[in-house]
A = this chain, B = another copy of it.
Amino acid sequence: MPQTAVAIQGERGSFSEEAARALLGRNVQVLPQETFAAIFRSVTDGEARYCLAPIENTLAGSVYENYDLLLEHDLHIVAEVNLRIVHHLIAFPGTTMENLRQVYSHPVALAQCGKFFKRHPKVEKIPFYDTAGSVKMLAERKIRGAAAIASHIAASVYGGRILQKHLEDHQENYTRFLLLSRQATVAPGSNKVSIAFSTRNVPGALFKCLSVFALRDIDLTKMESRPSRGHPWEYLFYLDFVGNIKEKKCQKALDHLAEVTDFLRVLGCYKSGER
């Protein structure tokens, strides 16, 4: 894949940047944006070739805003990556483990390092808007006795030093990111398909939708539902399944699904990330 601009949400040095490097190489050019809506717009407007959107975390669950944005924009999923979330304690000259008094980070990251704070009861947790942003702030203000919790990439981007590695309580903390593009390319080796659909409002509708996969021995890997705007108590479904849209079996399944749905869109066909 060529080295080219990828829009990411958050500051330089974020977990999104770590995921972008894992997927596209360490020299990838990232375009930081404040919001998820902005990264989708960057690609739609042609400002960036790709954007990288976190879609689910194995502890916190789905990122619903990005599920909604997938349908609001005409972008295509071309790759995915599952990033293990590893938290490091990062500081600048003047701060050591001995004089550490304050730790800045995003509230979710602080909550995921509970055991570290139990071992260091005198260290104050200070919530900040962003993990990498807290490293950036310390790089500028050089607060003595203060450190930040963030990705190792944040240490290298802002020139910080890793005081302690692996602060996270749970090892089983992964975030799945989707790479989105204006072009609907299907890379060699693609083995996963993502779709969105709404059912007809009839009894057994969802069962009929899932039957098109079960009857063809097609495995589902994820299912998500979101409210249908303007239709209270009706839902849109998002489904990931194992296969390639160029295979006859998948084409037949999607044809069959079109018969039993009101709305159906293929969001992309791509290579499953390593688990």
Residues of A within 8 A of B (CB): 56-61, 64, 170, 172, 174, 203-204, 206-208, 210-211, 213-214, 217, 219-227, 229-233, 235, 275
Contacts and interface: CB of A to CB of B under 8 A. Distances in A.
Contact of A232 (B58, B207, B225, B232): B58
Which secondary structure dominates chain A's binding surface? mixed
Contacts of A214: 204, 207-208
A229 B59 CA distance: 6
A24 to B, nearest CB: 23
B206 A210 contact: yes
Contact of A221 (B174, B220, B222, B233): B233
A115 to B, nearest CB: 15
A118 to B, nearest CB: 19
A59 B206 CA distance: 21
B57 A227 contact: yes
Contacts of A227: 56-61
Given A204-B217, A224-B225, A232 B174 contact: yes
